Amino acid sequence: MNFRVVTSRGWGWAVVALLCLVVGVAQGWIELIGLGVAGLLTFGLATLYALFRHSHEVSFHLAHERVVGDEAQLVVTVSNPTGHSLASLDVVVPVGEQQVETQVGRLRKAAQDDITLPVPTDHRGMVQVGPARVIRQDPLGLISREVVHGDVRTLFIHPKTIGLLSMSTGFVRDLEGNPTRDLTGSDLSFHALREYVPGDDRRNIHWKSTAKTGQFMVRQFEQTRRSHLMIVLDTEPEVFATDDEFELAVSAAASLGVRAIRDTRDLSVLVSADARPASTGRLSALREAARELASRRRAERGSAPARIRAMSTVSRDRLLDELSGVHLQEGSPSIVELSRLASAQAADVSIAFLVTGAAVDSKTLHSASVAFPAGVEVVVVSCAPEASPVTRRMGRLTVATIGRLDDLQQLLGKRMAVS
């Protein structure tokens, strides 16, 4: 895609040349006429210079599409595959709301220049990179021509995570190791014998008891806890005092999720449906338009739009990609409402981690915990930067306060002080 733009200097040059020509003709001044003709001729040559297309090729790629706090590298490749001399070019690549610029000098035939540019990654997020714009100007800067190369790419700046011990031991193991009071026809924990009823699995018939009583007797089992973890991340701005506090919460949720994925556990990670990043780029705009259309159709059918969404947990990278785009959002559901919405998906969940800020009081946390079924252990991870790590028990609710990401290791290892 090509754009030709007359610069402000070019407009001034053209206006002055026309004035010189008009005044010179009106007053009969040969000098002014000469200046006007020369100015217009120069402007025409500059236009022809911009119209002439040099056969250059420009491409760019990210050295790493996923980074964690480290500086990303943008590699811009400019080549001249033909015998035409390539004039110097200005290459501009949009990176989020900023622009990375570089200048490429003249290239000989078949020459190629690879330029590595730093990309700032100070803040977690999903950054749209590209497309690259090649800007050429005539020597006087009268006409500017832009050529767009490439498509928009996404740089994922992941939240920081900490390597946690396996959840098969320690704190999580203790919560999941006990059988529940729910009875089932098949499991590992034997409970009692009862009379056979039509529909029971005949493989569970206890033949010795059947011989003694003269009636078919079947084994009955206690249903053990299933290894399914749920992580609910609070995105309500009122409960986080600072941005660092929210970043600690995102990192805590990410660390728990990554460990669960490595342990091959069933995992659900839920956040507010409103906690999405601002849309940038053409593809994002199309997705946003599709979401708005779906919301209008739901409203026409009289159904309320969902206020909670599940993040992808098929792999570590997919989960961290989606967590990169989570932000505080005004109007997000409270932790109590999020818990109620999440409880509808907690049919086979054994432990629910509620990750929130330090501003949530005990009464609110208790209200959030009772939204889950009785068989679900609820653990609140309260993030308060620089606070001393401590765990307290409130009925079936466990509240763990962490001041640093490293404190999660103590939580899962069951080495935190209990009050």
183-241 pLDDT, tens digit each:
444 444 445 788 888 878 878 888 888 888 888 888 776 555 446 889 999 999 999 99
- The pLDDT of residue 188: 41
Distances from the Cα of 169 to the Cα of 173, 177, 228, 273, 410, angstroms: 5, 10, 15, 33, 12
Question: At residue 182, does pLDDT exceed 60?
Answer: no
Structure tokens at 236: 């309500």
In the chain, the percentage of residues whose pLDDT exceeds 70 is 79
pLDDT interval class at 251 (50, 70, 90): very high
125-178 confidence digits (pLDDT tens)? 898 888 888 887 777 888 888 788 888 889 999 999 998 877 655 455 555 544
- The pLDDT of residue 170: 47
Structure tokens at 229: 């973890």
Measured distance between the N- and C-terminal CA atoms of the chain, rounded to whole angstroms: 65
| Range from 47-56, 95-104, 250-259 carrying the lowest mean pLDDT | 47-56
Pairing of strands 308-310, 266-272: antiparallel
**CA-wise closest residue to 125 among 325, 328, 311:** 325
| Range from 47-56, 254-263, 296-305 carrying the lowest mean pLDDT | 296-305
Q: What is the dihedral of CA 364, 365, 366, 371, to 10 degrees?
A: 90
Question: At residue 36, does pLDDT exceed 80?
Answer: yes
Where would I find the H helices in 153-281?
170-176, 207-213, 243-262
One-letter amino acid for residue 231 of the chain: I
351-385 confidence digits (pLDDT tens)? 899 999 999 999 999 999 999 988 788 999 999 99
Q: Supply the mean pLDDT for the chain.
A: 79
Phi first, then psi, for residue 64 (nearest 5°) are: -145, 125
Question: At residue 290, does pLDDT exceed 50?
Answer: no
Question: At residue 109, does pLDDT exceed 60?
Answer: yes
For residue 108, the number of C-alpha atoms closer than 13 Å in the C-beta half-sphere is 0
The residue ranges of every structural domain in the chain are 2-51, 57-157, 170-175+226-413, 185-224
Per-residue pLDDT, averaged over 244-257, amounts to 95
Pairing of strands 377-383, 397-402: parallel
| Range from 247-261, 362-376, 403-417 carrying the lowest mean pLDDT | 403-417
Question: At residue 245, does pLDDT exceed 50?
Answer: yes
Q: Could you tell me which residue, 418 or 30, shows the higher pLDDT? A: 30
Residue 187 contacts by C-beta under 8 Å, 6 or more apart in sequence? 179, 221, 222, 223, 224
DSSP for 295-320, please give it.
HHHHHHTT-PPPSEEEPP-SSHHHHH
In the chain, the percentage of residues whose pLDDT exceeds 90 is 28
Residues 356 and 33: their CA atoms lie apart, in Å, by 76
- Strand order across the beta sheet in which 72-80 lies: 57-62, 72-80, 111-119
**CA-wise closest residue to 382 among 270, 243, 233, 162:** 233
Pairing of strands 266-272, 228-233: parallel
Coil, helix or strand at residue 1: coil
- In this structure, which topology does domain 170-175+226-413 adopt according to CATH? Rossmann fold (3.40.50)
274-283 confidence digits (pLDDT tens)? 655 433 344 4
DSSP code at position 86: B
- The pLDDT of residue 234: 94
For residue 94, the number of C-alpha atoms closer than 13 Å in the C-beta half-sphere is 16
- The pLDDT of residue 248: 95
* Structural contact between residues 78 and 89, judged by C-beta atoms closer than 8 angstroms: yes
- In this structure, which topology does domain 57-157 adopt according to CATH? Immunoglobulin-like (2.60.40)
Question: At residue 86, does pLDDT exceed 60?
Answer: no
**CA-wise closest residue to 206 among 226, 228, 221:** 221
| Range from 56-65, 181-190, 239-248 carrying the lowest mean pLDDT | 181-190
Per-residue pLDDT, averaged over 40-47, amounts to 88
DSSP code at position 350: S
- The pLDDT of residue 270: 93
Q: Could you tell me which residue, 106 or 382, shows the higher pLDDT? A: 382
Residues 133 and 95: their CA atoms lie apart, in Å, by 12
